[in-house]
Amino acid sequence: MLRIHLITLVFIISLVVLSNMIYFYLQQTNEKDALKTLLIQHISMQNQSGKSIANGISSDLNSIYKMIENVAHIQALKEKFNSNITKVDTNTQDIDLIINFLDDQINSTYHDLSKKADRMYILNKDGIIISSFAPKGEDLFLGMNLSFREYVKDTVESKEPVFSGVFEGPDRKTRIAITFPIINNTDSLLNLGARVDDTANNNYFANNKSESNFLGLVAASAPVSEIFEKFGNIYNIKSQYLVGYDKNGTIIISPRTENIGKNFNDPAIQAVTNSNGVFNRIIHNLLNGSEDQGLYTTDLGDRYNTAYPIMIDGKLAYGIAIVTPTNSIYDDINEIMYVERIQSILIFSTMSAGVIIVVLILRNWNKDMEKEVKKRTNELNDANQKLEIVNEKLVASEKSKEEFISMVSHELRTPLMPIKAFAGMLLNPKYTGDINEKQKKAVDSIIRNVKLMERLVGDILDVYKLEMNRLKLTKESTSLDILIENATNEFNEIIKTQDSEKDIELVSEIKIKEDLKVKCDPQRINQVLGNLIKNSIDFVPPKNGKIKIRVEEFENIHHKNLDSRVNPKKFVLFSVEDNGPGVPTEKMDGMFKKFYQIDTSITRKHGGTGLGLAICKGIVESHGGQIWIEKSITGGASIKFTLPVD
């Protein structure tokens, strides 16, 4: 009998062990499937984000390229007029006016260019800097000979635009440069923005490559990190990061800074990848203008690489690779699976101990374990299905955003500058003669609508940056008097350009200490005040309209509209009030939502995209403040926001 019980006990224990092995085998299989599914989903999302990043970088570089192209044409025209000054029958006063106008156009172009590239040089044909543009307070390096730079040599030799490799600038920053040759072509200004295909571009350079036609070049230079860091991680090697290449395969940006300046064929780079065939194939295809992707192993582990070429005017300028360490993909789910394994071990240890103590209970153990395995498997399958649904929605959402932002940056920004420049020339009688009032109003309308389009593009891009947490703030200690003065200037500019027929009074009331300052980004806070003033201008009566800006200092004051959890001990309260029709109470909660309109009918009187207040909310909250709307004591609207005081 004892032997029978012993055999039965051994059988039951063996059955328990076997069931444990089956369970852990099934669990391991499901874990592998989950990891594989997660990798596939991440690859899909990385492909989508990679296209968006490549499009964004391409848009910025193309914008820089178009700007320096315009400067090259304008500089060529300056050279033409300068040469005419020596002629006896030339009206030098008229030529001086024209040259001054062209200089203004170059300065205006650099103002726009400086948002993407901090320096612009104009070099003569010997490579010497004759004009220089740089941030305020920085050295201009006028007269410096840059003929030793490879990008200058390439431009002088080819007489064509050049996208440089990486180099160290005079300011000790790692940089890249984009150049455009200055060609002695009397029709250069007429060609501004007119060449729309590669064939026309090639003919243009081919017909003007003689040494006598080559006058010099325009170069835009920017730190590589400032170009790439707004599109992704370029510092942390442990999470998804970006690697940039020039058209020869030399690395221009990477978190592994020791690799910057080395070609991908360099023995040091090949050693990192163990001369991996997948890596070499991806980079070769990238340099041939084709996108590619793949998984390979480096000295730091497995990497998934998605590479996209950056094409400008149909030619390869640079390449971008989005690299993801695979362990960063699995970190979260590995932790979950580790907890699941510990729980499973504890469960089965308890159940195994119970086998020895209570044999009768263990007779049903196998059935219980099968149910538990099925339950765990079903739960994991359900979780995978939910994750797939969520990821599909995220991918669709990101794709729509990327397509929209790509369309805006490519199709709207590029043509605005030449429209604005030529419209300005139409108002100058030196070019068009005297024009009648009706013609002048038409040109004014063109300029006004170009500015509105620039503002609309800016609003859309600001909303995108806010949603992606990419809005960059440059905070500095700022006087409140300066903020109010800028707001007043913004008001006068809006009235002058958009609402010249309105009779509106702007009043400011400042109740603060004279030396009180706030740490903020003055340009962004000025944008908030400008948007609020623009809203008030739209809604106040055309006659006897009144807008009031009030600034007050508070300390330890709680307001019904302020969240006490984020309300600082000391803050400045801004109010913009008007005597317009006000905002209905039931509409107030939605005022700061994107694309929100109080009147949604097709006959509504007031236009706008409904993005202004959403942008204001994002900027204020990025500063640690809060914004809300109230009824004004005059019956109109009163929008208030706070900024913390350090």
Higher pLDDT, 588 or 604: 588
As beta bridge partners, residue 505 has 546
Distance CA 242, CA 236 (A): 10
Sequence ranges of the chain with CATH classification 3.30.450.20 = 30-355
- CA nearest neighbour of 390 among 110, 63, 138, 45: 45
Among the residue ranges 30-44, 209-223, 293-307, the one predicted with the least confidence is 30-44
Q: Which helix (H) or strand (E) holds 246?
A: strand 241-246
- The better pLDDT of the pair 45, 391 is held by 45
CATH of 473-644, one of 3.30.565.10, 3.40.50.150, 3.30.479.10, 3.10.20.30: 3.30.565.10
Query: Where in 254-314 does DSSP place strands (E)?
Result: 292-298, 301-312
Residue pair 54/404 in contact (Cβ under 8 Å)? The answer is no
Of 171, 179, 270, the C-alpha closest to 225 is 171
What token pair was written down for 606?
């007031």
- Check: CB of residue 413 under 8 Å from CB of residue 63: yes
Highest mean pLDDT among 60-74, 483-497, 576-590: 60-74
User: Which residues sit opposite 638 in a β-bridge?
Assistant: 577, 630
Residues 6+ apart with CB under 8 A from 268: 259, 262
The dotted CATH code for 30-355 is: 3.30.450.20
* Distance of alpha carbon 481 from alpha carbon 487, whole angstroms: 10
How sure is the predictor about 16, in pLDDT bands with cuts at 50, 70 and 90?
low
Count of C-beta atoms within a 10 Å radius of residue 44: 13
Q: pTM, whole model, 2 decimals?
A: 0.50
CA dist 89 and 83 (Å) reads 13
pLDDT at 88 over 90: no
Sequence-separated contacts (24+) of 136-142 with Cβ below 8 Å = 138/171, 139/170, 139/171, 141/170
Confidence check: pLDDT of 406 > 60: no
Q: Where do the CATH 3.30.565.10 domains begin and end in the chain?
A: 473-644
Kind plus residue range of the DSSP H or E element containing 373: helix 365-411
Q: How far apart are CA 258 and CA 273, in angstroms?
A: 15
Helix or strand or coil: residue 316?
A: strand
DSSP state of 585: G
Which residues make beta-bridge pairs with 577?
Answer: 548, 638
Contact 12, 5 (CB under 8 A): no
Q: Which of 131, 118, 37 lies closest to 79 in space, CA to CA? A: 131
Q: Which residue has the higher pLDDT, 44 or 210?
A: 44
pLDDT at 182 over 90: yes
CB contact at 8 A, 120 and 218: yes
The residue to which tokens 């009206």 are assigned? 91
Closest of 62, 107, 53, 162 to residue 413, by C-alpha: 62
Determine the Cα–Cα distance for residues 194 and 105; give it in Å rounded to an integer.
18
Q: Which residue has better confidence, 357 or 154?
A: 154
Higher per-residue pLDDT: 529 or 25: 529
